[in-house]
Amino acid sequence: MVVDQAAALDLVDQLRVAVPEEVRQAKRINQESDRILEKAQEESDRILARAQEQAAFLIEERELTRAAEERSREIITDGEAQAAEIRRGADAYATSVLIKLEGECVKALQSIKRGIAMLDERGPAETNGPEPEELQLDEQRSHAQL
């Protein structure tokens, strides 16, 4: 097989012209892919940074929520303890007042009984008042009202 020299040289010339263009295209494609990869890496880094910020924010927010819940439980517990203490104080005060009132009522009742006894000792003639039967009815009414 004999190769035509002119045809071979022509092919070589065409290859010389075509190869640099193909090499330039390959370089452009390579540069473009590098640029796309660089942009993709930048976008990936930006997305990762935003995700980390958001995760940190959510963790902080969760911690704040937990702290707020804990503080609210403490406030409720303190409030309940204060309410119980106030209730005990109010109960003690009410008991004291009622005991004093009971003493005053006992004294008043004793005075009433002494007054009735004194009037009974005087008898009906000294009082110039109602007859003994009416006194007994009045006394019964008084005892019934107490």
pLDDT for 39:
93
What residues contact residue 32 under an 8 Å CB cut-off, 6+ apart? none
> What pTM value is reported for the model?
0.43
What residues contact residue 132 under an 8 Å CB cut-off, 6+ apart? 124
Of the chain, the end-to-end C-alpha distance in Å amounts to 148
Residue 92 domain boundaries: 5-145
> pLDDT digits over 7-20, tens only?
878 877 777 777 67
Name the token pair of 86. Answer: 């106030």
113 φ/ψ sector (left φ>0, alpha ψ -120 to 50, else beta):
alpha
If one counts the domains in the chain, the total is: 1
